[in-house]
């Protein structure tokens, strides 16, 4: 059995409602080919992957691949964007519709809560509300809240609540800036998104978030972006004694940056067997969880990119990555 910790879905009723009446800065239309197009404010409209809303097709895929549970949140651009992030009303709407999607999945999908990152003073309360209403065990944490860094002190209460309830935060990169140096949005997704994850976690380490919240459970999308590869580089700043030594790199932390990787989980959606192998070798098998980024093509929707690496592992290690690590963190019973 498998637990997929990284997937996205939308409720078609939510999109249909936006077609009738714009809300939360969003408008939508359904064109003659049946596909939904969505627009935020005056930004260009973009089409949505039809598999986001095709729940029967997804359930069949999960059953075929022996996936017992898939954590699902909205596409990341729905929860945070350049200059903004979900407020209380919008987060509540996304959670209500996400719970509706999960209810149609024959028990194979579970809501990953949207956080009200655009309302920092209410964000912690809204997480508790989602726990009470929906029993959520995970939440989608954007790598930046519309440009506001996650290490900002206003988010400490959110992390405290997550620690208290054992909620797994799934960090997903989002666009912090408007397109400037990228010819198309997709290139930003390919190149800048891994950097956004790397920057967010690096800041959290050096600003002491993991020291203040040692019980925080954090899972990183896409194999952690560039963070795995940069472990030695971060450590070198902490260890520097020459002219590049800076007190900042030691001021808020109690150990070398790479030691905090032991408090972080990484998913298998690194998009090549070599990258998956490297992630496991640096993070350790106990800190890697299976994730697909279903249904996106620039992802690993049925794990075909990760499987060559995973299937070469011994059986005990495979069990950890496919299920046991996530089951332990989420307290999933067999």
Q: What is the pLDDT of residues 267-286, one digit of tens each?
A: 999 999 999 999 999 999 99
CA 13 to chain centroid: 23
Eight-state DSSP code of residue 239: H
How buried is residue 318: exposed, middle or buried, by Cβ count under 10 Å (0-12/13-18/19+)? Answer: middle
Of 218, 224, 205, give the one whose Cα is nearest residue 163. Answer: 218
- pLDDT reported for residue 44: 86
Q: Report CA-CA distances (Å) from 320 to 41, 61, 256, 314.
A: 44, 22, 26, 10
CB-side neighbour CA atoms (13 Å) of 93: 15
Q: Is the pLDDT of residue 334 over 70?
A: no
204: left (phi over 0), alpha (psi -120 to 50) or beta: alpha
- pLDDT reported for residue 31: 93
Supply 40's token pair.
């935020």
Residue pair 238/252 in contact (Cβ under 8 Å)? The answer is no
Q: Is the pLDDT of residue 308 over 80?
A: yes
- pLDDT reported for residue 182: 75
How buried is residue 181: exposed, middle or buried, by Cβ count under 10 Å (0-12/13-18/19+)? Answer: exposed
Q: Is the pLDDT of residue 107 over 70?
A: yes
Q: Is the pLDDT of residue 232 over 70?
A: yes
DSSP three-state, residue 114: strand
d(CA 152, CA 155): 6
Give the CATH number of domain 2-11+50-330; options: 2.60.40.10, 3.10.28.10, 3.20.20.140, 3.90.1150.10.
Answer: 3.20.20.140
Supply 323's token pair.
């299920």
- pLDDT tier at 325 (50, 70, 90 boundaries)? very high
* Domain ranges for the chain: 2-11+50-330
CB-side neighbour CA atoms (13 Å) of 68: 11
- pLDDT reported for residue 42: 86
d(CA 228, CA 304): 22
d(CA 80, CA 174): 7
- pLDDT reported for residue 141: 98
- pLDDT reported for residue 168: 98
Tokens 């093509």 correspond to 297
Q: What is the pLDDT of residues 175-200, one digit of tens each?
A: 888 777 777 777 888 988 999 999 99
CA 210 to chain centroid: 18
Give the chain's mean pLDDT. Answer: 95
**pTM score of the predicted model:** 0.96
- Quote the percentage of the chain above a pLDDT of 70: 100
Q: In sequence order, what are the residues at sequence separation of 6 or more whose Cβ sits closer than 8 angstroms to the Cβ of residue 125?
A: none
d(CA 173, CA 295): 16
How buried is residue 184: exposed, middle or buried, by Cβ count under 10 Å (0-12/13-18/19+)? Answer: exposed
Strand ranges across the sheet with 26-30: 26-30, 36-40, 46-47
Q: What is the pLDDT of residues 32-75, one digit of tens each?
A: 998 999 999 888 888 999 999 999 999 999 999 999 999 999 99
Higher-pLDDT residue of 189 and 247 is 247
């Amino acid at each position: 059995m498998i637990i997929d910790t990284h997937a996205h879905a939308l409720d078609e009723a939510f999109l249909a409602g936006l077609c009738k009446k714009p809300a939360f800065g969003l408008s939508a239309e359904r064109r003659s080919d049946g596909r939904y197009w969505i627009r935020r404010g005056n930004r260009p409209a973009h089409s949505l992957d039809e598999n986001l809303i095709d729940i029967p097709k997804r359930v069949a895929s999960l059953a075929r691949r022996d996936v017992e549970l898939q954590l699902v949140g909205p596409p990341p651009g729905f929860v945070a964007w350049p200059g903004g992030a979900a407020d209380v009303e919008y987060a509540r709407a996304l959670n209500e519709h996400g719970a509706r999607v999960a209810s149609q999945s024959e028990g194979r999908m579970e809501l990953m809560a949207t956080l009200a990152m655009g309302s920092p003073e209410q964000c912690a309360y809204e997480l508790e509300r989602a726990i009470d209403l929906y029993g959520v065990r995970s939440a989608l944490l954007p790598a930046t809240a519309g440009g506001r860094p996650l290490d900002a002190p206003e988010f400490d209460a959110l992390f405290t609540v997550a620690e208290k309830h054992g909620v797994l935060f799934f960090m997903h990169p989002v666009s912090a800036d408007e397109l400037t140096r990228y010819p198309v949005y997709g290139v930003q997704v390919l190149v800048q998104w891994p950097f956004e994850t790397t920057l967010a976690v690096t800041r959290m380490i050096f600003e002491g978030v993991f020291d203040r919240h040692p019980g925080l459970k954090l899972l990183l999308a896409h194999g952690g972006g560039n963070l795995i590869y940069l472990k030695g580089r971060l450590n070198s700043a902490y260890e520097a004694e020459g002219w590049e030594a800076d007190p900042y790199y030691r001021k808020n932390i109690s150990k070398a940056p790479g030691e905090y990787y032991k408090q972080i989980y990484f998913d298998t959606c690194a998009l090549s067997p070599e990258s998956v192998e490297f992630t496991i070798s640096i993070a350790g098998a106990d800190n890697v969880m299976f994730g697909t980024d279903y249904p996106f093509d620039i992802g690993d929707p049925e794990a075909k990119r990760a499987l060559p690496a995973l299937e070469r592992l011994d059986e005990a290690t495979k069990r950890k990555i496919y299920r046991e690590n996530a089951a332990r963190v989420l307290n999933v019973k067999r």
